[in-house]
Amino acid sequence: MSASQCTTQPQGIRLDKILPSAQNVGSSDVMVRSCCGQWNECEPSDLYVAVVGNEMDGHDYAPDAVRRGATAVVGERLLAVDCPQFIVEDSRQAYGLICHALAGRPSDLMTTIGVSGTDGKTVTSHLIHSVIQAAGHRAGLATSIESQLGSLRLPPSPSFNPPVMADQLMQMAMNQCTHAIVESSSVSLAQRACSGLTLDAAVLTNIRRSSLGMHGSRENYLRAKTRLLDCLKPTGFAVVNADDPATHQLLDHIQSPVLSIGIHQAAELTAKMLERDLSSQTFVLRAGSESIPVRTRIIGKQHVYNCLSAAAVGLTLGIDLPTIAQGLEAAVIPGRLERVDCGQSFGVWIDSAKSPTQVATAIAAVGCGTHGRVWCVCSTDEGQTTEDRRQLGSILEKTTDIAVITSAKVCQQIDYEPTHQVLDGFENPATAQVIPNRLRAIEYVLSNAGPDDAVIVAGCGERPIAVVGERNWDVCDRDVCQAWLYDNTQLDCHQGDPNIFRFDDFQS
């Protein structure tokens, strides 16, 4: 089955039952056993759903889908095809409803939590997963890092669309998961990827300006976020950040019960920082009259917000505060302010931060506890606008002692224009280092960092940056940092371990 196909009901489902408000032409008695959203992947007996994409209109290819064997078409207008048609207001939404119906509506079989927002979606999703697991439940997880379908782990899907989401949720249910956590970006919400999904909880971490560009306007972005709330079941609830000003604009759209979290504003769940160093932080989590200390290995205020959101979900699901704290402390999220410690005299963190806000948050998290200099390896990203890059340069100049601008890969053809746009944000561009090869950029920073300095390698997180060795191993920033540090510290920790490269391996 391709990423655009959904097929799990051998007996079939009447299409007019799935789309009761659709206008049918030709016949209302259509049984659906499988559907497809790409004309060139249609198979005999498929239902073809015509959707409008960024570069092409699926309605134009309906005749081709029928020639390939599609027996009915769902679209937003009447088409010149010789088969039953169902005309709907939004074919993307209809596509999701059909896929989830064919999968047996798996989100109705589990306690399902959706997480969205500009920053913190992935970390919050993993924290919720860890809290639910700590309570003894079997939980599935679908995020931008990975999908955990019970005992099966998969890399993230490149196209998290309705058939992929329905299929993964169905596998979670079949693997006896009682809970499912789904991360949803604003783009996937805008493209109706969550249509057909029903939620017991919807978590909105925050709303930042950095995500507005891809939606055209603030109104479009807010409208996309409300679609997560539209997925709530009648008994569902929402978790919102009381400290986030933009989130307040959504409160009028939330008809379900709301649980608020905050550090500065009054909220149902609050937190107070007790201590923080470069390896951990401890805060007191308060919920009503109850409180408990929580110690996490990820540092920074943003992570406290993420923990509060996960705790809010846990409490509403009936999990006690000590178990929630245990789950928060046990969570491991690769590539999210992940510390690399190989016995060196300075701190090293790997982070996936790309946007100006994310980079500023990461730098602030490690900078407040650093007595030495702050170094940042930062890469340009194709998703950044010109203004994003200019802001990124301004932030790097103001918050770091040494900023190194590089690419997101070790070996690739370099486009210097994005780098120039970052440099435009500097008042004194000569203070920045430009090293296009990411391997060389990391080597430069690690070679020159001194005792008590802090090094942040940002932009890629856990994502591979190169393939090396005869076994074609994918390597990421963590691997490169570990290789250099193990080769250049007094501790030869990797001796005899075939899974850790020496730095020279990356240069071959």
In tens digits, the chain (508 residues) has pLDDT values of: 566 666 656 678 999 999 999 999 988 789 999 999 999 999 999 999 999 887 889 999 999 999 999 999 999 999 999 999 999 999 999 999 999 999 999 999 999 999 998 889 999 999 999 999 999 999 999 998 989 998 888 887 766 789 999 999 999 999 999 999 999 987 788 788 889 999 999 999 988 765 455 545 566 666 666 788 889 999 999 999 999 888 777 777 788 899 999 999 999 999 999 999 888 999 999 999 999 999 999 999 999 999 999 999 999 999 999 999 999 999 989 899 999 998 899 999 999 998 899 999 999 999 887 889 999 999 988 878 899 999 999 999 999 999 999 988 776 566 789 999 999 999 999 999 999 889 999 999 999 999 999 999 999 998 888 777 666 678 899 999 999 998 887 544 444 454 555 656 655 4
Residues whose CB is less than 8 angstroms from the CB of residue 194 and which lie 6 or more positions away in sequence, other chains included: 96, 114, 165, 182, 184, 188, 227, 228, 231
∠ CA(64), CA(70), CA(73), 5° rounding? 90
pLDDT of residue 430: 93
Whether the CB-CB separation of 132 and 125 falls below 8 Å is answered with no
pLDDT in tens, 311-362: 999 999 999 999 999 999 999 898 999 999 988 999 999 999 988 999 999 9
Question: How many residues does the structure list for the chain?
Answer: 508
CA dist 372 → 369, 394, 452, 453 (Å): 9, 21, 5, 4
Q: How far is CA 248 from the centre of its chain?
A: 23
∠ CA(431), CA(436), CA(441), 5° rounding? 70
CA dist 95 → 64, 68, 73, 156, 225 (Å): 19, 19, 11, 21, 19
Whether the CB-CB separation of 128 and 310 falls below 8 Å is answered with yes
Q: What distance in Å separates the CA atoms of residue 464 and residue 467, rounded to the nearest whole number? A: 8
DSSP assignment of 285-314 equals EEETTEEEEEEESS-SHHHHHHHHHHHHHH
Q: Look-up: residue for tokens 């019960």?
A: 257
Q: Look-up: residue for tokens 């959707």?
A: 51
Q: What distance in Å separates the CA atoms of residue 306 and residue 119, rounded to the nearest whole number? A: 9
Q: Going along 94-142, which residue ranges are E strands?
A: 111-116, 139-142
434 phi, psi to nearest 5 deg: -115, 110
239 forms beta bridges with: 203, 259
CA dist 471 → 476, 480, 498, 501, 504 (Å): 15, 17, 11, 12, 16
Three-state secondary structure of 40-99: HHCCCCCEEECCECCCCEHHHHHHHHHHCCCCEEEECCCCCCCCCEEECCCHHHHHHHHH
Q: What distance in Å separates the CA atoms of residue 67 and residue 265, rounded to the nearest whole number? A: 60
Q: What is the mean pLDDT of the chain?
A: 88
pLDDT of residue 496: 45
Q: Which domains, ranges and CATH numbers included, belong to the chain?
A: 5-102 (3.40.1390.10), 106-330 (3.40.1190.10), 338-507 (3.90.190.20)
Whether the CB-CB separation of 378 and 392 falls below 8 Å is answered with yes
Q: What distance in Å separates the CA atoms of residue 48 and residue 40, rounded to the nearest whole number? A: 10
Q: What distance in Å separates the CA atoms of residue 502 and residue 475, rounded to the nearest whole number? A: 12
Whether the CB-CB separation of 222 and 252 falls below 8 Å is answered with no
pLDDT in tens, 102-135: 999 999 999 999 999 888 999 999 999 999 999 9
The token duo for 254 is: 């939330």
Whether the CB-CB separation of 236 and 204 falls below 8 Å is answered with no
234 phi, psi to nearest 5 deg: -55, -30
Three-state secondary structure of 336-369: CCEECCCCCCCEEEEECCCCHHHHHHHHHHHHCC
pLDDT of residue 364: 93
